[in-house]
Structure 1
Amino acid sequence: MINTSPIVETHNLSKSYGGMNRVHQVNLSVEKGQIFGFLGPNGAGKTTTLKMLLGLIKPSEGTVKVFGKDLTTHRPAILSQTGSLIESPSYYGHLTGLENMKVMQRLRNVPSKNIDEALKIVRLENQKHKQADQYSLGMKQRLGIAMALLAFPNLLVLDEPTNGLDPAGIGEIRELIKSLPGQYGITVLLSSHLLSEIEQIATSVGIISDGKLLFQGTMQSLQANNQATIRFQTSEPAKAEKLLLTHGYMPQVHGNQLILKYLRDEEVSKLNKALVEQSIPVTRIEEHKKSLEDIFLDLTGKERSL
Structure 2
Amino acid sequence: MDQIVATYNLSKRYGNTYRVKDVNLSVCEGDIYGFLGPNGAGKSTTLKMILGLSRPTDGKVTVFQKDFEANRRLILSQTGSLIESPSYYGHLTGLENMRVIQKLRDVPDKNVTEALKIVRLENQKNKKVGQYSLGMKQRLGIAMAILSFPKLLILDEPTNGLDPAGIGEIRELIKSLPQRYDMTVLISSHLLSEIEQMATSVGIINDGRMVFQGSMDELKNKSRPTIVLKTKNNKLSQKLLLSKGLACEEHDDSLVFENLTDEQVIQANRSLVEANIDVLRIEENNKNLESIFLDITGKESSL
Same fold (TM over 0.5): yes
How many angstroms does 1:272 deviate by?
4.3
TM superposition shift of 1:93: 0.8
Give the conservation status (yes or no) of the 8 Å contact 1:158–1:191.
yes
Return the alpha-carbon distance in structure 1 between the equivalents of residues 139 and 207 of structure 2: 30
d(CA) in 2 for partners of 1:270 and 1:253?
14
Using the alignment, how far apart are the partners of 1:78 and 1:238 within structure 2? Answer: 61
Q: Which residue of 2 aligns with 1:48?
A: 45
Mapped partners of 2:221, 2:24: distance in 1: 22
1:195 to 182, 189, 192: 192
2:246 is matched with: 251
Q: CA deviation at 1:239?
A: 6.4
Identical columns (%): 64
C-alpha RMSD of matched pairs (Å): 2.1
CA contact (8 A) 1:214 1:299 kept: yes
1:145-160 alignment runs, 5 A limit: 145-160=142-157
- One-letter identity of the residue aligned with 1:116: T
SS at match of 2:272: helix
Preserved contact between residue 251 and residue 260 of structure 1 (Cα < 8 Å):
no
After TM superposition, what 4+ stretches of structure 1 lie above 3 angstroms from structure 2? Answer: 260-264, 266-278
- Gap runs ≥5 in structure 1: none
Q: Give 2:286's aligned residue.
A: 289
Choose which of 205, 219, 226 in structure 1 pairs with 2:223.
Answer: 226
Q: CA deviation at 1:300?
A: 1.0
Partner of 1:92: 89
Number of positions where the alignment pairs a residue of Structure 1 with one of Structure 2:
297
CA deviations over 1:185-208 (Å, ceiling 9, x no partner): 100000001111111111111001
Of 294, 297, 301, 2:298 maps to 301
- In structure 2, what is the equivalent of residue 276 of structure 1? 273
Structure 2: stretches of 5+ with no match in the other structure: none
- Cα deviation for residue 111 of structure 1 reads 1.0
Query: What amino acid sits opposite 1:84 in the alignment?
Result: S
**1:107 is matched by which residue type in structure 2?**
L
TM-score (norm 1): 0.91
Native 8 Å contact 1:230 1:263 kept in 2: no
After TM superposition, give the deviation of residue 24 of structure 1 in Å: 0.3
Shift of 1:275: 3.5
Distance 1:242 1:74 in 2: 62
Cα separation, partners in 2 of 1:270 and 1:20, compared to 1, 3 Å: closer
2:213 corresponds to which residue?
216
* Aligned residues of 1:227 and 1:262 also touching (Cα < 8 A): no
What is the CA-CA distance between 1:232 and the residue it aligns to? 1.6
> Partners in 2 of 1:53 and 1:104 — Cα distance?
21
Measured after TM superposition, the shift of residue 301 of structure 1 is: 1.3
Matching residue's letter, 2:45? T
Deviation at 1:240, TM superposition (A): 4.9
Query: Which of 120, 125, 128 is 2:122 aligned to?
Result: 125
> How far 1:227 sits from its partner (Å)?
2.4
TM-aligned CA distance change 1:51 to 1:239, over 3 Å:
closer
TM superposition score normalised by structure 2 = 0.92
| Distance in 1, Cα, partners of 2:238 & 2:223 | 27
Letter of the aligned partner of 1:111 in structure 2?
Answer: P
